[in-house]
Every structure is written in C-alpha cells, then in structure tokens.
Amino acid sequence: MALKGGRKSNKNPPILSHEFVIQNHADIVSCVAMVFVLGLMFQTTSPLASVFIAVQHNASDIETAEAPMTYTYGSRDFAAVFFYCLISIVMHAIIQEYVLDKINRKLHLSKVKHSKFNESGQLLIFTAVSAAWAINILINDNVITDITALWSDYPTGHAQMSFMLKFYFIIQMSYWLHCYPELYFQKTKRDEIPGRVQHATLYLIFCVAAYVLNFNRVGLVLLSLRFIEEAILHICRLLYFAEKASAASTGFSVWNVVFVMSRLASIIVAILTFHYGLAINENQVLDIATGNFNIPLVRLNALIAVCLIQAWMMWNFIHFHLRKLRERQAEALALQLKAVEKKVKTKNKKDDSKRSSEEDVSELPEVDQQTRRRR
C-alpha cells in the first residue's frame, strides 16, 4: 500500500500539482532516500552515498574494546542531516497512516481536535523514544552517576563523541528540520503555523548550539528532562481528546508537578555546568581547532539562554493556568447568575398565577359571590 502522508482522496490530481505532491509526498521522499541507499551497492557511488548515510568525521582509526570509535563534527554532517530529514518525513507519514489515522476513525474527532491529536501523537512517539535514548546514553557515559562528567575533561572528552551520542544529535536536528516541510505536507492551518515554527526552531537552535559548542553532555541532560515532561503532556492531551476526562485530569496534575521540577532541575544543571564546573577549568582560551569554547563570554551567554528559555516556559505555564482559572471563575459566575434568574422566573410565575386567580375571583358575578359566602 502506498503512503499518502495521512491524507486520502478518491480524486486523481494532476501530476506535480500541489495536491499531487501533498498526497504522495511520502512516496516521493522515500524514492529519493532509496537512491542514496542503492548508491551503497555500487563501488563507484558507494563513497558518495556513505557520506549521506554513515556517520562521518571519525576521530580514531582503530576501534577496540578499551577504546571505542569516537567522532567529531564537520561539514559532512550536513549531508547526514539532509538524508535523515528525508527519513523523518517518511516515518512521520508511516505513523500517521498506520497508527494515528486508525485511532482517529474510532474517535470521530472534530477538525480542530483532529489536528491537535495528530500533533500530540507524533510528538509523543518522538519525545518518548528520544528521552529513553538520551537516558541510555547518559548511563553508558556515566553522567548520571558522576555529575562532574558534564564539565570534566573539556574539550577533548566532549569534542570526541561516541557513535550513539553523535547519531542522537544528527537525528534531533533532522527531526526538527523536517517539521518545516511538514507544515506544507499536512496543510497546517495558518493560525497554527507560528506556534509550530517557534517550537521546532527553539529545539533546532538548542541542538545545533550544544552540538557545535561541544556542550553535548549538558545538552543531552536538558533535552532528556524536557522530553520526559513533554511526553507526559502529550499523553494527557491524547487522553483528553479520547474523552478520558478523569485520567486526563489526573495526568495533567502530575504534569504540573513534573513541569515545575524539570524547569528547576534544568536551571540547576545549567548553573552547575556553566557557572561552576567549566569556570574552574584551567584551559579557558578560545580554540576552534580543538573545539574549546570554554570562555567567559560563551559560558555567560549559554547560561543566560538556558535560564531565559526556562523562565519563558514557566511564564507561559503560569499565564495558561491563570487564564484557565479566570475561565472557571467566569463559568461559575455564569452558572450562579443562571440559577438566580431561574429562581426569579419561578417566583414571578407563582406570583402571576396567584394574582390571576385572585383576579378571576373578583370578576365573578355578585350573586355568585354571595352564594359562595353563604356556603
């Protein structure tokens, strides 16, 4: 079955038209990616194809059990990011076609909820996998058991990355880069575009900065904290869209606590790394060749950037809850006014009924009134 990027239609649009590209973008992109894979099968094209697929810029020639292969970054990483961006588009379409669309058919969501459900479903899978992957790398690199690994042996121990660490950042940059063409492929509404662009851009800038400045270990910790918290958020949103109100309410309460703790932990990790750990390093001279960016200006800007983004997220969090509180108060006030109006109407009806009965009695003939008095 051909992939249609989550959108099916009985019509056959003209070839190379916008609708044709949108409906068949997954097939088109997968064919382009297959060209690079097929290039590995031929001796003449294998060196060029491997630049796009294999991890480049290895720093060690021989891999042993005591000294595994390490890698640095370089210009060939652009090719790898491009190829895995294509793979991200294909995976996005597969998840949409075979997972989310099948769930949507059972839920019968509105168009607005349908779009938000797809967004949360895609991000839940990616953030959950990324968080588990990051934690696994941190365990293997002994960062969790030894916090000083975030700044010790900088820049040599940080500039030379393990295969999984380098590949992790390539996948991160590829995924957030693929979010831009997905705005076109998914026919994203104009009012939703700014938020999605902002979300992807912040992640992309953060990943590129941590990768280029060799702050990959502290970047990995901050990403794992963010991904854990965001995965919980998207689970709660999916439960809410599935009309599991009780479970969603409990989940949002848990997310509120995890969100605040993640922001606090991120600031603490940033201060420990940039203000304390790297500041006591003896080598504080800018050297691009060796990948040493441990100078006061870079450290200060990195610390300010991390703290500002945490403060910005916390501000949005507080603003969101204040808005929800005002909405609940307005709803409660509206219910009270409605109840008062109902009581007033009921009382007015009783008064009108009583008044009308009295008027009916007063309008009876005088003889009938005298007769009723005798009785």
Going by pLDDT thresholds of 50, 70 and 90, the confidence category of residue 375 is very low
* 290 close to 250: Cβ distance less than 8 angstroms: no
Does the pTM of the predicted model rise above 0.75? yes
Going by pLDDT thresholds of 50, 70 and 90, the confidence category of residue 1 is very low
Q: Which of 239, 274, 294 is the last residue of a domain?
A: 294
| Pair 270, 339 in one domain | no
Whether residue 67 has pLDDT greater than 50: yes
Amino acid identity of residue 37, one-letter, is V
Indicate the average pLDDT of the chain.
Answer: 88
pLDDT tens-digit series, residues 259-270? 999 999 999 999
Give the pLDDT confidence score for residue 356 in this predicted structure: 65
Rounded mean pLDDT, 120-127: 96
| Pair 84, 233 in one domain | yes
| Pair 251, 337 in one domain | no
pLDDT tens-digit series, residues 275-299? 999 998 888 899 998 899 999 999 9
| Pair 162, 113 in one domain | yes
5 found inside a domain:
no
* 280 close to 264: Cβ distance less than 8 angstroms: no
Total number of domains in the chain: 2
Give the pLDDT confidence score for residue 346 in this predicted structure: 77
Beta bridge partners of 70: 162
Q: What is the span of the domain harbouring residue 177?
A: 18-294
